[in-house]
């Protein structure tokens, strides 16, 4: 019977950073472009 699993710890480190960084980078990119979109819409409404 196998008492101890043979897990490669680096697989978990890579998985954690992949999940975390993808979520944070996606958030920053979305927030930045949404801000640019909203401010452009406001400026266009001002000009109309």
Partner 1 sequence: MHGFANPKRFLALAKWLTPLLLVSGIVLSAIGLAWGVLNVPPDRLMGDTVRILFIHVPAAWLGMGGWTAIAISSLVFLVWKHPLASLAARAAALPGAVFTAVCLATGSIWGRPTWGTWWVWDGRLTSMLVLLFLYFGYMALAQAVAREGGSSRIPAIFGLVGAINIPIINRSVVWWNSLHQPPSITMGKSAIDPVFLWPLLIAVVGFSLLFGGIVLARMRALLADIQADARLRRKALGNEIA
Binding of partner 1 by 7 (CB under 8 A) = yes
* Range 24-33 contact pairs with CB under 8 angstroms and sequence separation of 24 or more: none
Cα(39)–Cα(23) distance, integer angstroms: 24
Binding of partner 1 by 29 (CB under 8 A) = no
- Work out how close the CB of 25 gets to partner 1 at its nearest, in angstroms, rounded to a whole number: 9
Cα(8)–Cα(20) distance, integer angstroms: 19
Residues that bind partner 1 (CB under 8 A): 5, 7, 9-10, 12-13, 15-17, 19-21, 23-24, 27-28, 31-32, 34-35, 37-39, 41-42, 44-46, 48
């Amino acid at each position: 019977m196998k008492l101890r699993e043979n897990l490669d710890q680096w697989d978990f480190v890579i998985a954690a950073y992949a999940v975390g960084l993808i979520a944070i980078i996606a958030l920053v990119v979305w927030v930045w472009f949404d801000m640019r979109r909203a401010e452009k819409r406001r400026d266009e409404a001002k000009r109309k």
